Structure formats: structure tokens, C-alpha cells
Chain A
Amino acid sequence: MASHFEIELEKLKNVIIKIGNLAENQLIEAVKALLSEPMAEKKEVKKNEEKIDKLDVKIDEICQTIFALQQPVASDLRFIMASMQISNEIERIGDLAMSVIKNSKNIKDKHDLIVKFNVAELAKQVEEITIKMNQCFLDRSETTIGEIFVLNNSIKKGTDDTIHNLMNEMKSNSKAVVSGMNLVMVLKHLERVSEHCTNIAEHVHFMIKAKIIKHEKFDDKQ
């Protein structure tokens, strides 16, 4: 029979999985909003955003209770510390997904810009890293963590290159400035999503290996 403490830990794990899946869905919706023509904002997206916020608070409360009543140590302590941080990162991913949707509405001639600057590939990579983020929390796999680091590096480089090209386009074509600026913001939001996923991978690494690797350079993490 599982102890009361183990039940509490399992509950925390399930809430993290739930909030992670919600954020993943939000991000997928955001990418859809970016890559397709303008569409009405789905009520579900707004509802999910509220759910994410509520779960973020719930996770804080569960962790606080466990700290106060169970005095966790070792792997349990790391799991709870990581959970609190992961929940914060996921909540930010949810917010950024909403910002992507908002900025995407202001991009005119979106299809042409997206094709011209190959934004779809970058957006799909961000989708992929978000899926891997949830996967690495579930399977606690170092391989998945490593894949996230590599993917984040590629996304950062892709974002820099695309923004550079967009800037040049805006310099030569003033009509493209409004849409271009909105697309730059979308790209920066997506890059931040990728960063949050990488942070989560670092927290999972701390959870399983008891080693803090945040702020380490990419090569050192590998």
C-alpha cells in the first residue's frame, strides 16, 4: 500500500503532467494561429489559460503542504523543488502562447511572410521541443534532455537568422514594418518558449541526477 506521502507525491506528479499537457495544447493552438489565416480566438484557448494559472497556484499549495508536513529529503526534496520551478516555467509557456496568438492577428499577408522566411519550420521545432519537455518529465530520460538542449540551440540560431532577414526586409520595404515587427515579436515569444522548455529539462536533470546545470554553457551541458 502506498504511504500517505507517496500519494501526495503522485498527486503532485499528476498535476504537473496535466498543466504540461495544457501548455503543450496552447502552444499547438498558437502555432496554428501563426501558420494559418486569421481565425476567431477559440474560447477553449482562453479557458485553458485560466486552467493553467489555477493549476500553477495549486502546485504551489501542494508543495507548501508537503514541505510543512513531510519534511522531504534527497530525491523527494529534489522532485518537489523541481516541481515548483517546472510549474512556473509552464505557466510562462502558457502566457507566451497567448501572446503568439495575439501578435499573429496583426500580421498582414502572413502567408507570404511565413513562406519567405521559412517561419513554419521554426514554429514546428518549438512545437517539438514543447512535446519533448513533457516527455522528459514523464520518462526522466537523459537522452530526451540532451535532445532538448540541441533543439533549443537550433531554435535560437534559427530565430536570430530569421529576425536578421526580417530586419533587412523592413529596411528595404517600409510597408512590411508593422507585420514584420509583429512577426519579430512572435519569433521572440517562441524562442522564449524554447528557453522555458530547456529550463524545465534542466530542472528534470537536477531531479534525476542531483546536479544543478542551469546557467551552464551549451557545450558543458552536453
Chain B
Amino acid sequence: MHKIESKNVNFFYGETQALHDISLSMKENTVTALIGPSGCGKSTYLRLLNRMNDLIDNTRMEGSILIDQKDIYQKNTNVDDLRKNVGMVFQKPNPFPKTIYENVAYGLRVNGVEDKNIIEERVITSIEQVALWDEVKDKLKKSAFELSGGQQQRLCIARALAIQPSVLLMDEPTSALDPISTSKVEELVHELKKKYTIVIVTHNMQQAARVSDNTAFFYMGKLIECDKTKTIFTKPAIQQTEDYITGRFG
């Protein structure tokens, strides 16, 4: 059974069609990497999974996307609930101008959690989950901006995890990080997939190869090929995929 199932998805920015007939499924507790050149539609597709594109004017989506067998584009979908279930981490770390502790607690409070004990427990668990606890436990009341880029990004992941989603979307989560921070985030992805279904957009081929179970190659708004990562990086079925991953594109 699939955790996420997209069927014949088309997406338009005004008159421009950004996605063409995308059908792509993802199983629970897997990591799927979306790869492809800039402007190929991979981030657009990612943002459809928690309806982030709804925030952009003059856009239109056709087809259906099911998460846990429910069409998230049905009229009666509660978008706030959807985004609680489908967390997102962005390219650049974007902590709130608050303390480290508050960065994680804030989302819980906004979502109506008032019990201090529950909040504290979730904050600690989330920070521990992203392997940041030992680094920040003595400075929880300090500003999140005092952390390094890599630590900030892990804090943002902790913030996303605190509201207990089941799907985690990551849009180039390490593109602004140094190699050590990148490797920590990648290790984290391996750990997190035990509990979450992860979709990650990356421009780094080796990262896609290292962290994902499946890889989907997008080009000019079309899904060219999706297969096991091992297959994509050893014997892709489509020449365009081969050309892209071997750097001979265009």
C-alpha cells in the first residue's frame, strides 16, 4: 500500500504548464529523491504534497494526490491538518527569531498544545531525534541564530518533527550546509525514515544515491523515470536519465 499516490497530476502557473501528467507513488517509511535540472518541476511537485502551491496566485492543479488513501485536494480537506501531517524543511535554515527551545515549542503552541509538560517532552524528543540535543542542551534559552547553519537546519527539522507529521518533505535541505553538517543531515534522513515517509529534492547526485531508496528523474515538467535508486544509478532504463546522472545533459 502506498503512503503517497499521485495520479495524472498537471500543474499550471497561469498559462504555463509546469507539470505534465505526473503519476508517482511512494511507500511508507521510504526515502524518495527527486532529481532533475533547475526548472524541471521537482520542487513544484514537492510543494503540491502539502498544498504549499495554494499560496501562489493564479495556479491550477489537475489530477489527484492521495496521502493515506485520502485525496488531499478534495474540497473538504483541512489544509492546516494536512500541513501538520506533511512537514517541510527548506533549502536555507529558517529558524524563527526566538530561542532554540521556543523554535520547537512554537509550532506546538500554535497548534493548540498548552500542557507545559507535553511541550517540554516533545521539544526534547524532537531535538534528540535530530541528534542536536548534546549540542544545545545547555543553551536552550539562547537565540537560534547563535547556532551554526547545520545546527539551525537540524533545529528546523526538529521543529517540523515536533508536531508529529508522518511525511517529511525536504527541499534541498543541505545545499547551504558544509560537508560535515550535510553528512549529519544525511545520517538523520536514514534514521528518520524508520518513522516517516520522506521526499527529498536534491541537486546533489551523490546525495540522492546515498540517502534515498527510490529516485525520480524529472525533466521539463515530466517524470522521465522512477525506480530503485540502485537501478537509477547503475543501469537507468531511459537514455535521458543516463545522460543527466552522468553529467552529459543537453
Contacts and interface: CB of A to CB of B under 8 A. Distances in A.
A, B assembled together = yes
Interface of A: 3, 5, 71-78, 210
Given A3-B247, A5-B247, A210-B234, A74 B242 contact: yes
B206 A74 contact: no
A75 B236 CA distance: 9
B204 to A, nearest CB: 10
Nearest to B242: A74
Given A71-B206, A210-B235, 5 more contacts: A73-B205, A73-B209, A74-B233, A78-B235, A210-B234
Contacts, number: 28
Contacts of B26: none
Contacts of A78: 234-235
B79 interface: no
Contact of B242 (A3, A5, A71, A75): A75
A197 B218 CA distance: 41
A119 B236 CA distance: 47
Interface residues of B, number: 12
A73 B242 CA distance: 9
A74 B236 CA distance: 7
28 contacts: A3-B247, A3-B248, A5-B247, A71-B205, A71-B206, A72-B246, A73-B205, A73-B209, A73-B233, A73-B234, A73-B245, A73-B246, A74-B233, A74-B234, A74-B235, A74-B236, A74-B242, A74-B245, A74-B246, A75-B242, A75-B246, A76-B246, A77-B233, A77-B234, A78-B234, A78-B235, A210-B234, A210-B235
Contacts of B236: 74
Contacts of B248: 3
A210 B248 CA distance: 19
Interface in B167-219: 205-206, 209
Most chain A CB neighbours (cut-off 10 Å) among B242, B246, B248: B246
A71 B210 CA distance: 12
B202 to A, nearest CB: 14
Nearest to A77: B234
Contacts of A5: 247
Interface string B85-124: 0000000000000000000000000000000000000000
Nearest to B233: A73
